[in-house]
Amino acid sequence: MTRFKSRFLLIPTLCLFLAGCAGIAVSPPANDPITLRVNVFRSATNIPLYMAEEKGAFAKRNLRLELQFTPNSTEQRAGLAAGRSDIAHTAADNAVAMVEVAKVDAVIVGGGDSGLLELFVRPEIKTLADVRGKVMVVDAPNTAYALLARKILRNAGLVDGRDYRLAPIGGTESRVNAFSQSPDNVVGMLNPPWTFIAESRGARSFGKAKDLYGPYQAIAPIVMRSWAQANSGALERYLAAYIEGCRMTFDPANRAEVIAVLRKRLDLTEDVARRSYEGLILPGYGLSRDCRFDMAGFRNALALRAEIEGQWGGVPPEPAKYLELGYFERAMVFASP
């Protein structure tokens, strides 16, 4: 990206900042009632949405959520593109796949977390070399967490299709169950609460993705660009509530309530909910502050796609074409502290 373009991308945020400093009133979007169809995986990383619902952050903005739980990212991407959902919270790389592979105009409008990702293996796997001849369970083999897991194994000298096979199982809950369904299913990327459930069944962590690879932008809200343009006010209200839900999660005063909400929404034990909460607030592993977008983590995600899938001739592009973060920055102005 040229220096001119980099500066141009900062103008919306700078204008908002200067407006606030100058005392210029920035009016929030109209509070018209609307129902938003929000597509998510069943995961602890939905906690900002759950907390915003429980504590009225959506209701006070006249927003009603219709939460849709997806079995896998393939269906999630297709549903967003077809208009069956308005917003999807998914790995940021899924938006890249929609743009580059499906050729639809999806765009990332905020951040969220690093995925709280850990590489899990069956108990008989002592080194990654033991994966040879076995199966890695993934959501979709050519996006997001699968690319990250494939990279970690590649760094250990193992190449998919040659040294091990990929099995597209679906979301994390399905991948945990797959460990018990066949002794060949020996490795996969998991996140809470399913990491702790996998442990209870004998699987073990081979390490956190942040330590095995580095920063990674995982869950982020994505929309179709045309929908965002036609519903900008509703999107900004939604993102403001989402930001508040993230802040509620981090507030130590809400610790017991966050754990209780995780228990209720995901049908967890007290111990699993507590450990999930501790992961969610762990710096560099859980939620980002204010659910902000992690640019360094997204550059790593693009680099993974370039290397593992060979896209763009192996050279990752600049992030700007996949991002429309102005909605999020405007929402920050209206979010309660």
* DSSP secondary structure string for all residues of 94-145: HHHHHHHTS---EEE----B----EEEE-TT--SGGGGTTSEEEESSTTSHH
Shared domain for 85 and 231, answered yes or no, is: yes
Shared domain for 167 and 73, answered yes or no, is: no
Shared domain for 109 and 245, answered yes or no, is: yes
* DSSP secondary structure string for all residues of 178-200: HHHH-TTEEEEEE-TTHHHHHHH
Shared domain for 110 and 123, answered yes or no, is: no
Shared domain for 108 and 220, answered yes or no, is: yes
201-238 pLDDT tens trace: 999 999 999 999 999 999 999 999 999 999 999 999 99
Determine, yes or no, domain membership for 9.
no
Determine, yes or no, domain membership for 21.
no
Predicted confidence (pLDDT) at residue 13 exceeds the cutoff of 80:
no
Shared domain for 94 and 221, answered yes or no, is: yes
Shared domain for 195 and 142, answered yes or no, is: yes
Shared domain for 262 and 306, answered yes or no, is: yes
Shared domain for 87 and 173, answered yes or no, is: no
Shared domain for 260 and 314, answered yes or no, is: yes
The total domain count for the chain is: 2
Determine, yes or no, domain membership for 16.
no
Q: Give residue 18's pLDDT band: very low, low, confident or very high (50, 70, 90).
A: very low
26-56 pLDDT tens trace: 567 878 899 999 999 999 999 999 999 999 9
State phi, psi for 114 to the nearest 5 degrees: -90, 0
CATH number for the domain spanning 178: value is 3.40.190.10
Tokens standing for 177? Answer: 């169950």
Domain that holds residue 102: 29-114+216-334
Determine, yes or no, domain membership for 20.
no
pLDDT value of residue 26 = 57
Q: Give residue 273's pLDDT band: very low, low, confident or very high (50, 70, 90).
A: very high
Residue 336 is given by DSSP the state -
For the entire predicted model, the pTM comes to 0.89
